Structure 1
Amino acid sequence: MTEPIPAPPWQTPKKPPPRQPLSQDLIVQVALRILDAEGLDALSMRRLAQELETGPASLYAHVANKDELLDLVYDTVLSEVEIPVPDPDRWPEQVKEYLRSLRTVFRSHRDLARVSISRIPLGPNGVVGMERTMALMRAGGLPDDIAAYAGDLLASFVTTETLDDAFPAGGTDPATPRAYAAQIRSYLTSLPVDRFPNLVHMAGPITSLDSERRFELGMEIIVRGLSTYARPAGQDSSAGSG
Structure 2
Amino acid sequence: MSPTPQQRRAARHRLGTGQGDAPPARRGPSGGRKKPITVDAIITAAFGIVEAEGYEALTMRRVATALETGPSSLYAHVVNKEDLDELLIGRLCAGIELPEPDPERWREQIVGVCAQLRDQYLRYPGISRAAFAAASSNLDTLRVGEGMLAILLAGGIEPQAAAWAIDSLALYVNAYTLELSVADTRLGRTGGDDWVVSREELLRRFAALPDSFPQSKRYAAELTAGTLHDRFDFTLGLMIDGLPRPR
**Matched residue SS, 1:89:** coil
Choose from 204, 207, 214 the match for 1:189.
Answer: 207
Corresponding residue for residue 216 of structure 1: 233
Distance 1:180 1:121, change over 3 A: farther
> Displacement of 1:203 after TM fit?
2.8
Residue deviations 1:152-211 (CA, integer Å, cap 9, x gap) = 11112222222333453231287x955376555434333333x32222223333344611
AA of the residue aligned to 2:222: P
How far apart are the structure 2 equivalents of 1:126 and 1:171? 30
Could you tell me the TM-score, scaled by structure 2's length? 0.75
Q: Report SS of the residue matched to 2:35.
A: coil
Which residue among 67, 82, 92 is the counterpart of 2:82? 67
State which structure, 1 or 2, has the greater radius of gyration over its C-alpha atoms: 1
Closer, same or farther: CA 172–212 of 1 in aligned 2, 3 Å: same
CA distance in 1, matches of 2:32, 2:80: 30
Q: Report how far residue 17 of structure 1 moved.
A: 7.6
Q: What is the aligned counterpart of 2:219 among 193, 199, 202?
A: 202
Unaligned segments of structure 1, at least 5 residues: 1-15, 233-242
Query: 2:104, 2:187 → 1: CA distance?
Result: 45
Deviation at 1:135, TM superposition (A): 1.0
| Stretches of 4+ aligned residues off by more than 6 angstroms | none
Cα distance between partner residues in 2 of 1:179 and 1:65: 39
Check the 8 A contact 1:74/1:116 in 2, yes or no: yes
Q: Which residue does 1:179 correspond to in 2? A: 197
Compared CA separation, residues 209 and 47, structure 1 to 2 (3 A) = farther
Take 2:154 and 2:172, find their aligned partners in 1: how far apart are those partners?
20
5+ residue gaps in structure 2? 1-30
How many equivalent pairs are there?
213
State percent identity of aligned pairs. 31
- Whole-angstrom CA distance in 1 between matches of 2:203 and 2:163: 38
Q: How large is the RMSD of aligned CA atoms in angstroms? A: 2.6
TM-score by length of 1: 0.77
Residue 6 of structure 1 aligns with which residue?
none
Q: What is the distance in 2 between the residues matched to 1:196 and 1:142?
A: 41
Asked if the contact 2:126/2:181 (under 8 Å) is kept, the reply is no
- Distance, in Å, in 2 between the alignment partners of 1:204 and 1:120 is 41
